[in-house]
Amino acid sequence: MTKIERAISESIVNLCHKRRNQILAGRINFKEYAYRLMLDMVSVIEADLPRCIESIPVELTASFTEYLRVELEPVDFMPDPRIFLVGPYSELQIENKKQELRPNYLRLYHSMTLRNAEINGS
């Protein structure tokens, strides 16, 4: 991992904490929070994912896990990746990006399912 990748990941972790403050202060609604947080969390390096998960208010853990299930399961953990692409892109580039991000989405969902079970004693 390069210093730049590490710095970017650290910035994303900070964004996760910023989003926590925004949702708790009522500056963003849950759907906006969940969408942005999901994008942040699939972009962070794997070692930093737990730090982002810890930023989620306990009372929102179950709702966020359900949000991920509803958004990701129907598309086999490969949602439209265009938000991650710049400029003109082909269908092949879209498909490649879906495949590239799928492990990150799966990791996020699995991690949140475990965290939710841990909090709720399931």
Give 54-99 pLDDT, tens digit per residue. Answer: 999 999 999 999 999 999 999 999 999 999 999 899 999 999 999 9
pTM of the model: 0.92
Nearest alpha-carbon partner for 16 in 68, 5, 122, 42: 42
Q: How many domains does the chain have?
A: 1
Provide the token pair at 96. 């490649």
pLDDT per position as a tens digit, 7-59: 999 999 999 999 999 999 999 999 999 999 999 999 999 999 999 999 999 99
Which residues constitute the domain of residue 10? Answer: 3-120
